[in-house]
Amino acid sequence: MSISIALSPALITYSPFSHSQNQSELTTGGFAHSLYEKANSAYQQGDINTAVIHVKNALQQDSNNLPARLLFGQILLEYGELAAAEDQYRVALSLNADKSIVITPLAQSLLLQSKFSSILADITIGPYPRDINTLVYVYRAKAYSGLANLEEAKFNYQQALVIDEANIDALLGLSTIAKKQNEPIKAKQFLTQAKAIAPDEPYIAFFEGEQLRHDFKLDDALVAYNEAIALKNDYTDARRARATIHLDQNNLALAKADIEFLLAEIPNDPFSQLLHGLYLAKTNQSIEAKNLIAKTSEQFSQLDPETIDQFAPLALVYGYSQFLQGNLQNATTSLNSYLQKNPSSKQAREILAEIAIERKQYDLASDLLQPVAVDQLSNRSAHIMLRSLIETQRYNQALTLIDQLPDSIRQTPAMVNLHAVVLVKSGNAEQAIDLLTQKQSSAQGVAKNQAMLILGYNYLNQTFNQEALAIAQNLESSLVSENKPLTITELNFIGSAYLVNGDDNSAEQYFERALTIDKNDEVVKRNLAQLYLKNSEYAKAQLLIEQMLGLNPNNLNVLPLYGELLKRQNDTLAALAIFEQINQLAPDNLKNKYQLANAYLATNQADKAIDTANDINRLESLSPFALIVKAKANLLKNDNEQAARSLRIAFGLYTEDADKLVEIAKLQLAARDILSVEKSIATISTLDPNHRALHYLKVTLLEATGDVSGALALLQKQKQQTSDYYSIEANLMLKLYQDENALSSARKAYQLSPTIDNHQLMVRCLLLTKDYSGVYKQFEQWLSANPNDWQSWRKLANLYEQHGLSNDAIKSYQQAIEINSKDVFSLNNLANLLIEQEAYAQALNLAQTAHQYAPLEAKINDTYGWALVHNNRAQEAVNYFRESLARDHNNATTRYHLGIALQKLNRRDEALTELYQALSLSPNEDVKALIQQAIDG
C-alpha cells in the first residue's frame, strides 16, 4: 500500500545552491564550464530542453564538472525524473562535492521515490550547518514514518526540535504520529504549539483541515480551510479541499465559488478541472462535463495519485478518464481505490472487468462482476461476463447465465450470436444452428447450410478467425457433397475467412469466383479491392474502385478505399479531397476523421489538422490519436514546446505499447525534448529489449545531443541490411561532410525501400556531390512511379530553373499545377518564367490566380505587379509593389520593379528614388545591371 508523503513549502523549495558554498566555488573551468554557463542561463530562462543539451554536453566534456552535475540533478528533480536525479547526486558525492549542498536534494529525490531505507542509510547527521542538520532529521523522520516505525520517526522529529524548537515540519510530524498512536490530546498539543509559533502560517491551518477531514469531521475541516484561506486568499490547496467537501455535501453554490476562483487562478490545473467536471455532472450538465474532461485530459498525468486516492468521487472520474485514454494501469489504481470505498459500484466493477478482459485476465473479469445480481447486469456487463466465461471454457456457467438474463438483453442479436458461440464451443453445434435459424427467419425448415453461413459470419464479427475458416471449409464440403453450387454470399464468406487467416491467394480465387456470378456485387468488389491494396496491386484496386464509384460517386463504403489508394500512390492532394468529401457526407465518421487529420498533415496544413484533432476529441473523449496529431501539427508549425507537451501526455497513455512509444520517441526527438526521449527509450527497453527500433533511437538521441561522430560509431556497431539503417547512416555522414559515403548509403536505402523520404535523401546527396545528371535521373525514376507527386514536380522545376533550363522548368511547373491547381509557388514561378519568354497574357493569368490564393505573400504581389507592368497596366501594378514592400521592405528586385512602373507612368523623380534605393540594397550583379540601365535610361 502506498504512503502519502506531505512536504511543507520549506522542504519543497529548498535549493541545492542555497547554502554558503556557492556555484562558483565548484567550477572546474574550461570548455565544460562554458557549456555549463550556457545550460544555467537557459535553465534560468525556463528553456529546459536547451539547458539539458548543454548540461549533458558539459558532462560529456568533463564528467567531474560539479556545477553541471548538480544543475542536471536539479532539472531532473523538477522534471519528476527522480531516479535519474538521485543518480546525479550520488555521482556528485563520489566526486567529493560538499555534502551539505547535495544531501538535502538527494534526500528529497529518495523521499519522493519512497526509498525510505536508502534515506536512513545515506542521509545522516554530519558536520553541517544547523539548518541542514534540522532538515536531515526531518527527512529521516519521514522515512521512518514511511516504514511504519513511528517511535524512530518521533525521535528524529524531536532531535530536529532540539536544534530548532520552532521547526514547523517537526511539530506537525509529531502531531501526525500522535494521531496514529491514538493520542489525540498530544496531537492537538503539537498542532497548537505549531500554531502558536506561526499563527499566521496558512499551511498549519490547512494541515489541521486535512487531519479533520481524515476523521470525517467535515464541518470542522471546513472551518480550518476557511482559516487557511483567510490567511492566504489564493491558497489553492485549501480551496480545492474545501470545494471537494462542498461537492460531497451537495453545497453546489459554495463549491461553484471556489471552483470559479481556482479556474481563474490556475486555469490549467487538472485537479481543478476535474472538480469543475464533477460540479457540471452534479448539476445535470452531463455533456458539458464529458467535454470538459476531454478538454483537460492532456493534463491528467500531472495529478498526484495520492491526492486522487483520498477523494472517492474524483477517483471514479479520474479512473474512467484514464480508461478512456487507454492508460489502464492508472485507471486500475484509481478505480480499485474507489471500489474499496464503494464496493457496490456497478460502474467501477464494469470498467475494471473490461480492463481485465483487455489484459486477458478472464477469471478476474468474472470475479469482479460476480457480486452484481444477474437482473442488474447492464448489456455491456453481460457481454463482458459471457466473454470471460467463454475464454475460460466455463460453458455450462455461460449457458446458465444466458438463461437467467432478462429478455431485453438475451434476445438482442449480439447476445444471440454469443449464445451460439457458447453452444458451438460446448459441443452443441446443431443447437447453435437451430438457434440462429429461429432468430433469422420465422419460416420453418431454413437450410442448415444457411445457418452455418450465419454462424460463420458471426465468428468473423467476433474475430474468431480460425473457427470462421473451419466453418467455411465445412460449409463448402457440405454443399459439394449435396451437389449444390456455391452462392455469391457463400463464396464471399469463404474468401473473407481465408483473407483474415492470411491466405490471400485462396481469398482472391473465391472473390473472383463470386464475381463470375454477379460482376457488379459491391461487397465482393470491396473485399477484393482491399486485398489488392494490401498486396500493393494498385492498378487492379483502382479499376474496381472506379467501377463502384461510377455507379455512386458518394458511396461511403467505397470512398475510404479510394482515399487509401491515392495516399499509397503518394497523391496526397487527391487523397485529401476524398477524405474531405467523406467528412462532408458523414461529419461524425470517426475513422474518416483519423484519415482526414493525417491527410492534412501530409499536405502541411497544420491548423486544419489541429481543428480535426479537436473534432476527434468531441467524438471520442480523451483520444490518444488526437494528441499525436496535435504534436505532429505543432512540429510543422515549429512549436516544439506545444508538441512536446502533447507527446508527454501521449506517453502516459501508451506505457504498455512499445511500438507506439517508438513513434512517440521519434516525435519527441523532432521536438528536441531530450529528457522525454530518454524516458521513452528506457520504457521501450523494459517492454521489449530487442525492439527493432531501439538501437536507432539511441543513435538518434546521441545525434540530437550534438555527438554526431559518436552516433555514427554507435550505429555501425550493429550494421544491418535495412533501409532504416542506411538512411540513418547517410544522414549522419552528411552531417560529417562525408558526402560520397552518404550517397552510397542513401542509394542502398532507396533500393531497399523507394519511399518519398529516401528519394529526397538521394536528391540531397546527389546535389551535394554535384552529380546533377544523377539528380535528374533520380527525379525521372521517382516521378515515373509516382506521377501525381506534385511537390516533386515543383522541386524538379525549381532545379531546372536554377540551372537555366527554362523550357524544362516550365513543363515541370505545368505538371505540378495540373495536379494541384492551387500550388501558388508553381503558379508564381511559372508566371515569372513566362514573363521572361514574353508570354505576358498567360503570365498575368497565372500571377492573378496565385494572388487569389495568397494575397498577402510579398513575392506573389511582386510577380503580379510585374505581370501587370508587362501588360501595360502599370498604374495597378504600383499598388501591388507597395503591398509587397510593406512586407519585405528591403527587397531590391521589388524596388526595381516599382521604379520601372513609375517610369512608365512618367513619374521620373519617384522612379529614381526607388531605383537608387534598390541600388543601395546590394542587389546581385544581374539586378544591379538592370537598375543601373534604368537609371541611365
Q: In the numeric block, which cell numbers belong to residue 425?
A: 464451443
Report, as ranges of residue numbers, the positions in the chain whose pLDDT lies below 50. 1-28, 294, 297-313, 441-446
Query: How many whole angstroms from its chain centre is CA 874?
Result: 52
Classify each residue of 328-359 as buried b or exposed e, where b means 16 or more C-beta atoms within 10 Å of its C-beta: bebbbbbbebbbeeeeebebbbbbbbbbbbee
b/e map 509-535, b = 16+ CB within 10 Å:
ebbebbbeeeeebbebbbbbbbbbbee
Domain boundary among 113, 146, 171: 113
Strand locations in 621-713 (E): none
Question: 476 with 494: CB under 8 angstroms?
Answer: yes
What is the model's pTM? 0.56
Q: Pick from 83, 113, 143: which residue ends a domain?
A: 113
Residue among 33, 60, 66 at smallest CA distance from 674: 60
What range does the domain containing 52 cover?
7-113
Residue type, 600: Y
CATH number at residue 17: 1.25.40.10
What's the grid cell of residue 362? 478472464
Q: Last residue of a domain, which of 63, 95, 113?
A: 113
Q: Is residue 714 part of a domain?
A: no
Backbone angles phi, psi at 50, to 5 degrees: -65, -40
**Chain Cα centroid distance, residue 525:** 36
In 141-298, at which residue ranges do the beta strands (DSSP E only) sit? Answer: none
Residue 934, domain member (yes or no):
no
Does residue 936 sit within a domain? no
Q: What is the pLDDT of residue 43?
A: 79
**Is position 28 within any domain?**
yes
Length of the chain: 937
291 in a structural domain: no
Please indicate, yes or no, if residue 728 is contained in any of the structural domains. yes
Q: How many domains does the chain have?
A: 2
Identify the pLDDT of residue 54.
Answer: 83
> Is 2 part of a structural domain of the chain?
no
* Grid cell listed for 709: 561522430
Burial of 31 (C-beta count, 10 Å sphere; 0-12/13-18/19+): exposed
Q: 640-665: b or e for each residue (b if 16 or more CB lie within 10 Å)?
A: bebbbbbbbbbbbbbbebbebbbbbb
Number of H helices and number of E strands within the chain?
Answer: 56, 0
- Would 19 be classed as within a structural domain? yes
Residues 6+ apart with CB under 8 A from 235: 202, 206, 228, 229
- Name the residue among 865, 790, 793 with its Cα closest to residue 831: 865
pLDDT in the model for residue 633:
95
* Cβ pair 420, 435 in contact under 8 A: yes
Place of cell 499566521: 200
